[in-house]
Amino acid sequence: MSVFEKDGLKFFYELKGNVNGNQVIVFLNGVMASTSSWDFQVPVFERLGFKILVHDFRGQLMSDKPKGTYSFKIHAGDTIALLDHLGIKKAHFIGTSYGGEVAMRLAIDYPERTETISIIDSVSQLDESLKLFIESWIGLAKSNDGQSFFQGILPTIYHNTYIQNNKIMLEKRSERMKDIPSSYFDGQVSLYKTFLEDVEMTEELDQITCPTLVVCGENDILKPIKFSQIISEKIKGAEFAIIPDCGHVTIFEKPDVLNSILLGFVVKHI
């Protein structure tokens, strides 16, 4: 376990792959996730010799969880400070959901540090349905009941096919959530409120000039295709891919298809 300190806060991170390599991939977590959520993606990039960085945002599992809401600018600044700490000048950023939103903020605020960005199942604005989903998550998180929390969010993030094919695994994950400490849910509430208050960035997307890939699960009900279409249309030259029979958590539901798309895009821009 490696720890980086900034603003009196501790951030958990891991370096993997070719740690002396010049081509760097930074994976940016979804809101409920941690560094292990990229276990289906990391090995394929390791085999191609990339240096790989994963870390938990402030508010996430292993990093500190200051009270109050944050901002995507803060998350981007934390990420850049970590890159500076590690001597990394530029990177390819791959983010899913909340992490994709951080990737867009990075590309807007730190264009000189972004080789490419890949945005998976993310948004740059809200609608009323999405607001209601996240507000319901806040209520679930405040209950501090890990199992009820997981069961409550499950149908909003996974497609029916994935749920049917992975019932036993999902039941085990639900059971393990009983042991999640209350501090996890405190951090989640801060992150959800940050999303609701600060995700609006559609009108800034034309400032993104690095090569951009936008990916969305066809059956994502949390952040439907329309949001990815908005992003891909606003960012000049962005590539757009839709993955069939897939919900919101593309990194778990369709890892092989996603990895082929991600690898092809990143390697093309080395």
Q: CATH no. for residue 118?
A: 3.40.50.1820
Amino acid at 255: P
Kindly report the backbone phi and psi dihedral angles of residue 92, in degrees, each rounded to the nearest multiple of 5, phi listed first. -90, 120
DSSP annotation of 178 reads G
| Token digits of residue 256 | 């092989």
Output the pLDDT for position 173: 93
Angle at the Cα of 162 from the Cα atoms of 261 and 255, rounded to 5 degrees: 20
Count of other CB atoms within 10 angstroms of residue 138? 15
Position 225 in a domain: yes
Position 161 in a domain: no
Alpha-carbon span 122 to 130, nearest angstrom = 12
Burial of 33 (0-12, 13-18, 19+ CB in 10 A): buried
Treating both helix axes as pointing N-terminal to C-terminal, what angle do 72-86 and 98-109 enclose, rounded to 10 degrees? 70
The answer to whether residues 81 and 69 touch, using CB atoms and an 8 Å cutoff, is no
Position 117 in a domain: yes
Output the pLDDT for position 1: 78
Output the pLDDT for position 6: 97
Position 74 in a domain: yes
| pLDDT tens by residue, the chain, 270 residues | 799 999 999 999 999 999 999 999 999 999 999 999 999 999 999 999 999 999 999 999 999 999 999 999 999 999 999 999 999 999 999 999 999 999 999 999 999 999 999 999 999 999 999 999 999 999 999 999 999 999 999 999 999 999 999 999 999 999 999 999 999 999 999 999 999 999 999 999 999 999 999 999 999 999 999 999 999 999 999 999 999 999 999 999 999 999 999 999 999 999
User: Which residues, other chains included, contact 75 with Cβ-Cβ below 8 Å and sequence gap of 6+?
Assistant: 57, 58, 102, 105
Output the pLDDT for position 157: 97
Position 149 in a domain: no
Domain count, the chain: 1
Residue 243, domain extent: 2-124+201-268
* Strand order, beta sheet including 2-6: 2-6, 9-17, 51-55, 24-28, 91-96, 114-120, 212-217, 239-243
Output the pLDDT for position 230: 98
Output the pLDDT for position 180: 93
Output the pLDDT for position 38: 98
The answer to whether residues 3 and 85 touch, using CB atoms and an 8 Å cutoff, is no
Q: Strands 212-217 and 51-55, how do they pair?
A: unpaired
Position 167 in a domain: no
Alpha-carbon span 28 to 266, nearest angstrom = 15
By C-alpha distance, which of 268, 122, 256 is closest to 199?
122
Position 170 in a domain: no
Position 23 in a domain: yes
